[in-house]
Amino acid sequence: MNPNKALWEKGDFTQLAQTMRESGTKLVSTFNITKDLDVLDLGCGDGTTAIPAAKLGARVLGVDIARNLVEAGNKRAKEEGLTNCTFQEGDACDLNELKDASFDLVVSIFGAMFAPKPFDVAKEMVRVTRPGGRIIMGNWIPGDPTLVAQILKICSAYTPPPPEGFVSPMLWGVESNVIERFGAAGVSREKISCVRETYTFTSSYPPLHFVDKFKNYYGPTMNAFEAAEKNGKAAELQRELEELFVSQNKGGSEATSIPATFLKVTVNR
């Protein structure tokens, strides 16, 4: 099996996505989505970005490598009565089932950044975007002191080194890499802009319960705990994550509200 597919079908990302709904809807409201716009949400999960976009009147296709998340997205769209929002399986590195220039807006919020071939991802996003259209990415930033970058940093210390040729997904959070990757896909520098913005994870349960969600349902963290168990370091990993979540929580002792900084990339075709 494709290792990237295996990673994201592991666990149940919908458990984490529930904490992302509020920020997802808020972010989509800044995309200037109008009725009848054709939108592709790449690495869509269960629709945290796709469903708010469809509610604004766009025709939305969500594509994700994980079958369980595609099924969850279609279920959510049906429950919401959204006939203009569908989800299907696909690989951000090779969108062969999608025609050239078929979308006005291609969005990927913390999705396509995890695909293993970043230059292919940029090329495919550009290919399926219509001239005059836009690409918007949200990417976590390497070394950033906020939540997600720190979770991935902590987890990497407990997992075996990646295979030779592995390209860190976090490199999508570096502006020079973004420019290089889209440049290789034919986009000139002046059509690419990057700004830092904040995404907030919110829930009605306390941060220690949120740690358990990552431990039990998020592929990278699940892998880290499995490796840590073998080395007798699971308690150490648990403690590091608990300290991180509690120290960054702004929601008080009984609820979770943790901001995380990301790089918002806009590419104009």
The strand pairing partners of 62, in sequence order, are 41, 87
* Distance, CA of 93 to CA of 121 (rounded, Å): 5
Comparing CA positions, the residue from 168, 199, 180 lying closest to residue 267 is: 180
Structural domain spans, the chain: 3-142+165-202+259-268
* Distance, CA of 36 to CA of 223 (rounded, Å): 41
CATH code of the domain made up of 3-142+165-202+259-268: 3.40.50.150
pLDDT in the model for residue 1 = 65
* Distance, CA of 254 to CA of 209 (rounded, Å): 10
Which residues have C-beta within 8 Å of that of residue 38, sequence separation ≥ 6? 58, 59, 61, 102, 103, 104, 105, 130
Per-residue pLDDT of the chain (269 residues; tens, 9 = 90+): 688 898 889 989 999 999 999 999 999 999 999 998 999 999 999 999 999 999 999 999 999 999 999 999 999 999 999 999 999 999 999 999 999 999 999 999 999 999 999 999 999 999 999 999 999 999 999 999 999 999 999 999 999 888 888 899 999 999 999 999 999 999 999 999 999 999 999 999 999 999 999 999 999 999 999 999 999 999 999 999 999 999 999 999 899 999 999 999 999 99
* Distance, CA of 19 to CA of 230 (rounded, Å): 30
